[in-house]
Structure 1
Amino acid sequence: MNRLEALRVFRVAASALNFREAATRLGVSPQVITRVIGQLEAELGEPLFHRSTRGVRLSAFGASLAEQAAEAIAGIDRIFETREAGEPEAIEGVVRIAAPGVLGRRWVVRALAPLLAAHAGLAIDVRLSEVVADVVDEQIDVGVRIGPMRDSGLVARAVSSASLHFAAAPSLLERCRPHDRPSLLAAPAVLMIDRNSGRPWPWMFADGQHAMPSRAVLTTDDPEAECEAVLSGIGIGQLPGHLALPHLREGRLVPLLEDLRPAPSTIYVYRTRRLPVPPRVRIVYDALCEALDACEGPVPLPAG
């Protein structure tokens, strides 16, 4: 029997001042009461009861312990009473989120506003980076990731797709309009740096092949800077849909060679497998899943 249960037995025995009566109240044998009291006395090094032929009475130490035990047990019972009474669990504490920069700034932060307004005890720590987060070392509770989820220690939900589009500004296409893969790769290009390797990302194609453009006129490690460079007519870019699609729909960018673009990747929202899942983590996880469900939306594009 653990210490908490032993204190519960002692509290009943101290109230009854009769081991047989205490046993009846607890639904156990008198021998169990005697054994538990003996174990407590041995562990604490003090007698809890004075025994005589006329019965038992609490020792001074036992009387003091009875008061302490009653307070301790009442405190522990209060912890569980709200759950047992069906009262809602408090949404409070810190949730740490990891996400790619653009998705984080444009969708994650927006999704958090109503949660923070509704739950005064909730606090969010958002870490934005194009580098895949180390969930354990960085103590991430909820994250967003584009591409394969290979970590079996995570619970992940596929929430949306992440498309890639070859695109250029109309001003650039007045000077240079590629019509096939070789001419696309020979055109002025804006490239993204892979922060994990420090090298530019090659462009990906529908047949699964990767190729590096031969004329990289601007490289950057920031997706929004990449998109801005393409909008400015500096070069052609392979842009993520959540950045490119608004500009493609409004005509500020023109899609190129849509038949060559690769199949979309998957956007996942994940959390750790730690159980139980704290209410604050669960509510943030569900909110991000809902917010990112349509981060690209339908893709009606003009002909490229």
Structure 2
Amino acid sequence: MPVAPPFSRMPSLNALRAFEAAARLGSFRHAAEELMVTPGAVTAQIKALEAEYGAPLFQRQARGVELTALGVRVAPGFIAAFDALGDAVRELRRHAAPRKVHVVTSPALAQLWLAPRLVGLRAVLSDVDISLTALEEPPDLKRTPFDICLFYGAPDPGCATLWDEMLLPVCTPALAERLVRPEDLAGVNCISDVVWQDWKIWTAAAMPTGHVVPTGPGYSLYAIAVQEALAGAGVLMGRQSLVQPHLDSGALVAPFDLVVPLGLSITAWMLPESRKDRAVIAVAEALRDAAGGVKIR
């Protein structure tokens, strides 16, 4: 009877992905977020990999996880392998769908900055299929199917600055009639984003001897906060690029002539190999033109 050779099968690709992500990010939780699974799933995959080879790859500690000596030794090879796999997948996608460009950005920028410009972008780039995904945090482009990242960030030589963001309180014209000095903000609702520290940044620069504690409702979606300001619910700390259309229309006004730099800019970046992709470069340059910014690197 034929004898099957004792070839070792490859371990689960999902287990290898879990190990590589956790080793690179230094956290099972961060790996789970990147892979869009639960931390428990990452833990289970890595336990299965350790059991298959009979050696621990991570030390579990109260403050988190840390690679063992074996994990440190083998992690670079897996990171390089998944880098190469990512390059191959992007090359496949680039040739299979050469006119598709996938932009990833934050929810606020997607809803209030990019969405209003999509009609103009598509008119200029009629032969390019632009898709848009919103994520809370910038992804690792080497591990995701996105072509261009558009997020708030500090100035960086590797990114193009499209807009230097400014802060200014905004409200309806009726509410503005009650506001003469910044100190008058103490008597009205001050709407805030629950994550951003914009009120603190603005008051530190505009009211060095005073402060404003937002007393109005807080929202995790800035677009809802803008709608509340439009409804007259209070004064919103506006990011100028996101509220400018409403200022232009007169639906919102700035009661004080006090504009403060946020310290962050709308930035765009891509992987180096994307510079060879004509469709990606066309979208990047169109974003620059839409923002009036500088040349995309």
Q: Quote how far apart the aligned CAs of 1:207 are.
A: 5.3
Of 162, 178, 181, 1:179 maps to 181
Change (3 A) 1:129 1:276: closer
The alignment-based identity, stated in percent, is 17
**Equivalent residue for 1:219?**
218
- 1:185 Cα shift? 5.0
- The structural deviation recorded for 1:217 is 2.0
Alignment of 1:204 with 2:183, yes or no, is no
Query: What is the root-mean-square deviation of aligned Cα atoms in Å?
Result: 3.4
> Given the alignment, which residue of 126, 132, 135 partners 1:126?
132
Q: TM-score, normalised by structure 1?
A: 0.52
Distance 2:264 2:284 in 1: 20
Secondary structure of 1:244's counterpart equals: helix
**Amino acid aligned to 1:184:** L
Using the TM superposition, give the Cα deviation of residue 274 of structure 1 relative to its aligned residue in structure 2, in angstroms: 2.7
The equivalent of 2:244 in structure 1 is: 245
The letter of the residue matching 2:243 is A
TM-aligned CA deviation for residue 165 of structure 1: 1.7
1:226-265 CA distances to partner (integer Å, 9 max, x unpaired)? 1221122111111122333333344332213323633674
Q: CA deviation at 1:190?
A: 0.9
The 1:249–1:224 alpha-carbon spacing in structure 2 relative to 1, beyond 3 Å, is: same
Q: Report the structure, 1 or 2, having the larger helix content.
A: 2
Q: Is the 8 A contact 2:168 2:240 kept in 1?
A: yes
For 2:189, the aligned partner's letter is P
- 1:103 matched to 2:113? The reply is yes
**Distance in 1 (alpha carbons) for counterparts of 2:117 and 2:165:** 14
| Bigger radius of gyration | 1
Q: Are the aligned partners of 1:200 and 1:219 in contact in 2 as well (CA < 8 Å)?
A: no
Letter in 2 for 1:104: L
Partner SS state of residue 259, structure 1: coil
In structure 2, C-alpha distance between the alignment counterparts of 1:164 and 1:201, rounded to whole Å: 7
Match of 1:148?
A: 154
Does the C-alpha gap of structure 1 residues 227 and 290 become closer, same or farther in structure 2, counting only changes over 3 Å?
same
- Is the 8 Å Cα contact of residues 191 and 219 (structure 1) preserved in structure 2? yes
* Change in CA separation of 1:131 and 1:216 when aligned onto 2, cut-off 3 Å: farther
TM-score, normalisation: structure 2: 0.54
Match of 2:269 in 1: 270
- Decide whether aligned partners of structure 1 residues 234 and 214 sit closer, same or farther in structure 2, where only a CA change above 3 A counts: same
Kindly provide the amino acid, as one letter, of the partner of residue 189 in structure 1.
Answer: C
Counterpart in 2 of 1:193? 194
CA 1:275–1:285 in structure 2 vs 1: closer, same or farther (change >3 Å)? closer
Cα deviation, residue 189, structure 1 = 0.9
Q: 1:257 to 1:246 in 2, by over 3 A?
A: same
- Alpha-carbon displacement from aligned partner over 1:161-180 (angstroms, at most 9, x marks no partner): 33222112122234x42513
| Cα contact 2:192–2:218 (8 A) shared by 1 | yes
Aligned residues: 193
SS of corresponding position for 1:262: strand
Counterpart of 2:288 in structure 1 is 289
Offset at 1:200? 6.6
Which amino acid in the other structure matches residue 190 of structure 1?
I
The alpha-carbon distance between structure 1 residues 107 and 126, as it changes in their structure 2 partners (threshold 3 A), is: same
CA contact (8 A) 2:148 2:269 kept: yes
Give the Å deviation of 1:282: 1.7
Alpha-carbon separation, structure 2, partners of 1:186 and 1:137: 49
Output the amino acid matched with 1:143: C
Distance (Å, rounded) in 1 between the aligned partners of 2:119 and 2:249: 25
In structure 2, runs of 5+ residues without a counterpart are 1-94
Cα deviation, 1:112-162, whole Å, max 9, x if unaligned, reads 3432x23xxx43331124533343333321122223155x7xx42223333
Give the residue type in structure 2 aligned to 1:204: I
Partner in structure 2 of residue 24 of structure 1 = none
Q: Cα gap change, 1:173/1:189 in structure 2, threshold over 3 Å: closer, same or farther?
A: same
